[in-house]
Amino acid sequence: MGLLVVATFVAVAEIGGKRVAPGRDGDGGSYEAIVETLGEIARTPVVWAVSFVGITVLVGGSILLGVGSFGISEGLAGTLVSVAYLIVGLLLVGFVFLGAYFATRSRGLGNAHGVAAGSLATGAAFLVLVTVQLVFGVVG
């Protein structure tokens, strides 16, 4: 039985030594090309500026249409304000999660560590929000 275990470890060591990781042969493939292109786009300051202006116009327009008297029905006005709140909430959650994720990744840790740190930070922020709501009743 012991020889079978030793033979298994030797066989695995031999296979691991001869194996080449997929996508590491220099060609890259279409996945690598797509990731590289998206990375270059995300690092462009113009993309960030246009995204910021677009989000600002979307949130500001939703609020103005929701609270202004532009002849919009009351049901739709309330929905527009709720959409604006949702967008701002998603931006804050994304900021907290991605901030913790990229801070972890920049320190040399892996994707799983980044996701764990982002989830922990987002969960902690949610718990603080629930606690503040229960103690002070700031929402609603």
The tens-digit pLDDT sequence of the chain (140 residues) is 556 556 666 666 665 555 454 555 555 678 888 888 888 888 888 988 998 899 899 888 888 888 887 888 888 888 888 888 888 889 899 999 999 998 888 888 888 998 999 999 999 999 998 998 899 987 76
103 touches 117 (CB < 8 A): yes
DSSP output for 17-63: HH---TT-SS--HHHHHHHHHHHHHHT-HHHHHHHHHHHHHHHHHHH
Q: Residue 105's closest CA among 116, 94, 95?
A: 116
Distance from C-alpha of 87 to C-alpha of 55, rounded to nearest angstrom: 9
Distance from C-alpha of 3 to C-alpha of 11, rounded to nearest angstrom: 12
